[in-house]
């Protein structure tokens, strides 16, 4: 469910015509719906209404500070993976105690900044990282709150490129080594190990991998407690899939919540989650304009002004995003390929997609582009990062404007030897 609907044949973002935003922001651009973001956050949290739970939005999915601020106002924390994401989360007013720092390669500078901010939890993924964290915290006279991210060796049955919980993946610590890690932490001066964390992958469309991984984590909590370690938090990560095309039926968030509540029932821990896509995916669309039609043999391309550098998911993961016209047309749909201007054959958003008489100047939108859309954009081909717009009812604001070419080049210099 989202808030991008047609009224009299015109696509609206909440109560604002998408064409009005196009006039103001220029194409291409992303639009996010506040109502959808709030709704998805509340749908997620409702399932855990009376439980001790922290929902830390995965900043990597959609990191604009306006979105982080909106979610923080709803009560969300932040799952971060870099010093930059920490900086954003703090700027947006996220409660530091609800910030969890994930990732296999935290630098000591990033650890120091997170300790200074007083974040709630470091999800540590290895021995060397644990020693580094303890040393950084000791220097500051602080104690770092730690959970160990375990690798439950569960296949999330999703795309190979976004699976993270199999034994051979680079993430986490094998369950069999968790006790050893807690013992090691006990011998270090400036870390307090008090939690277990996991994240097995993204766009997961069946509940069984979640069940298998959570059961493993719950068993581990019991084993660790039996060995005398105090476990206060269990972080179950993110990963819940969303529908990208008609007919896709990932598990509803309430079923996901019911499953994980039953698996963790009576465990007496703070349960944490790191959802990204489930909150932001359907809350955004990517809008571009048809520039030309071009027929190559039997195929007609609609060439649009958006490209793979703006929305890379189709090129990178062969992902499908549903295409819709901003103004509906009456007529018989015929197949088109939709491609951008970037000089790569992978810069094709859709193949053989049904469109009704597309013409230069028409606006089109790709749905479900809120998560891993703008955040994965680049300036490849020296194309400016596209604006992001946030709608709330009948109001909208450009929350990231398009940079000028001068701004894009402002970090570059020509040294004398290159003149
Ligand atoms: N927690 C950790 C430690 C993660 O690595 C991720 C995503 C999440 C939470 C959030 O997962 P979500 O709830 O969004 O599934 N660029 C890819 C997705 C990469 C996901 C990376 N990790 C895509 O466009 O599909």
Query: What residues are labeled active site?
Result: 343
Judge: domain 103-273, CATH 3.40.50.11540. Answer: no
| Ligand 1 atom at shortest distance from the alpha carbon of 149 | 3
pTM over cut 0.75: yes
Average pLDDT over the chain reads 96
Q: In this structure, which long-range contacts are made by residues 213-219, counting pairs with CB atoms below 8 Å and at least 24 apart in sequence?
A: 213/152, 213/154, 213/165, 214/259, 214/260, 214/263, 214/264, 215/263, 216/150, 216/152, 216/154, 216/175, 217/150, 217/152, 218/263, 218/264, 218/267
| Ligand 1 atom at shortest distance from the alpha carbon of 203 | 15
| Ligand 1 atom at shortest distance from the alpha carbon of 281 | 14
**How does residue 166 score in pLDDT terms, banded at 50, 70 and 90?**
confident
Q: Ligand 1: does its nearest atom lie under 6 Å from the Cβ of 314?
A: no
The best mutation among 170, 277, 375 to test binding of ligand 1, ranked by most ligand atoms within 8 Å of the C-beta, falls on 277
Q: Ligand 1: does its nearest atom lie under 6 Å from the Cβ of 238?
A: yes
| Ligand 1 atom at shortest distance from the alpha carbon of 103 | 3
What spacing in Å lies between the alpha carbon of 15 and ligand 1's midpoint? 30
Dihedrals φ, ψ of 226, to 5°? -60, -30
Give every CB contact of residue 252 below 8 A, 6+ residues apart in sequence.
none
Domain with CATH 2.40.37.10 in the chain: 4-31+282-409
Average pLDDT on 139-159 reads: 93
Q: What is the dihedral of CA 73, 75, 81, 85, to 10 degrees?
A: 10
Q: Ligand 1: does its nearest atom lie under 6 Å from the Cβ of 162?
A: yes
What spacing in Å lies between the alpha carbon of 276 and ligand 1's midpoint? 6
Are 100 and 235 in contact by the 8 Å Cβ rule? The answer is: yes
192: helix, coil or strand? strand
Beta bridge partners of 398: 389
The best mutation among 274, 283, 310 to test binding of ligand 1, ranked by most ligand atoms within 8 Å of the C-beta, falls on 274
| DSSP class of 151 | E
Pairing mode of beta strands 29-33, 16-17: unpaired
Comparing C-alpha atoms, which of 241, 156, 236, 154 is closest to residue 198? 236
Are 196 and 220 in contact by the 8 Å Cβ rule? The answer is: yes
Q: Ligand 1: does its nearest atom lie under 6 Å from the Cβ of 98?
A: no
Pairing mode of beta strands 10-13, 16-17: antiparallel
Work out whether the CA dihedral 85, 89, 90, 94 comes out positive or negative: negative
pLDDT in tens, 319-363: 999 999 999 999 999 999 999 999 999 999 999 999 999 999 999
pLDDT in tens, 22-33: 999 999 999 999
Q: Does 6 score more than 80 pLDDT?
A: yes
Q: Ligand 1: does its nearest atom lie under 6 Å from the Cβ of 40?
A: no
What spacing in Å lies between the alpha carbon of 331 and ligand 1's midpoint? 40
d(Cα 192, Cα 13) in Å, to the nearest integer?
Answer: 46
Question: Considering all CA atoms of the chain, what is the largest pairwise distance in Å, rounded to the nearest integer?
Answer: 72
Q: Does 216 score more than 80 pLDDT?
A: yes
What spacing in Å lies between the alpha carbon of 299 and ligand 1's midpoint? 35
Domain with CATH 3.20.20.10 in the chain: 103-273
pLDDT in tens, 86-115: 999 999 999 999 999 999 999 999 999 999
So what CATH class is 4-31+282-409?
Answer: mainly beta
pLDDT for residue 50: 84
């Amino acid at each position: 469910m989202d808030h991008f609907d047609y009224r009299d044949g015109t696509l609206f973002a909440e109560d604002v015509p998408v064409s009005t935003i196009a006039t103001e922001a220029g194409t291409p651009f992303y639009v996010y719906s506040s109502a959808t973001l709030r709704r998805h956050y509340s749908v997620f949290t409702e399932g855990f209404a009376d439980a001790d739970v922290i929902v830390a939005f995965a900043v990597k999915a959609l990191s604009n500070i306006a979105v982080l601020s909106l979610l923080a106002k709803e009560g969300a924390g932040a799952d971060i993976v870099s010093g930059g994401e920490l900086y954003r989360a703090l700027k947006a007013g996220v409660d530091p105690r609800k910030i969890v720092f994930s990732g296999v390669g935290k630098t000591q500078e990033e650890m120091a900044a997170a300790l200074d901010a007083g974040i709630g939890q470091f999800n540590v993924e290895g021995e060397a990282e644990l020693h580094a964290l303890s040393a950084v915290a000791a220097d500051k006279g602080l104690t770092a709150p730690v959970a160990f991210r375990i690798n439950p060796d569960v296949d999330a049955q999703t795309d190979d490129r976004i699976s993270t919980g199999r034994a051979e993946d680079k993430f986490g610590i094998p369950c069999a080594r968790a006790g050893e890690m807690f013992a090691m932490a006990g011998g270090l001066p400036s870390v307090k190990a008090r939690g277990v964390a996991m994240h097995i992958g993204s766009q997961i469309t069946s509940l069984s991998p979640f069940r298998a991984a959570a059961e493993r984590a719950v068993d581990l909590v019991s084993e660790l407690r039996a060995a005398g370690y105090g476990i206060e938090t269990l972080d179950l990560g993110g990963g819940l899939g969303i529908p990208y095309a008609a007919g896709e039926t990932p598990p509803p968030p309430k079923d996901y919540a019911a499953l994980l509540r039953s698996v963790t029932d009576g465990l007496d821990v703070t349960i944490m989650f790191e959802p990204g896509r489930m909150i932001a995916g359907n809350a955004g669309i990517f809008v571009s304009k048809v520039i030309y039609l071009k027929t190559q043999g039997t195929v007609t391309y609609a060439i649009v002004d958006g490209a793979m550098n703006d929305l890379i998911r189709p090129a990178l993961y062969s992902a499908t995003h549903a295409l819709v016209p901003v103004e509906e047309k009456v007529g018989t749909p015929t197949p088109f390929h939709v491609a951008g201007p970037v000089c790569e054959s992978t810069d094709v958003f859709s193949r053989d997609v049904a469109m009704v008489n597309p013409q230069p100047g028409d606006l089109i939108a790709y749905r479900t582009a809120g998560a891993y859309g703008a955040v994965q954009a680049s300036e490849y081909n020296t194309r400016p990062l596209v604006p992001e717009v946030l709608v709330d009812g009948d109001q909208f604001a450009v929350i990231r404007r398009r940079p000028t070419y001068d701004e894009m080049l402002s970090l570059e210099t020509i040294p004398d030897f290159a003149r």
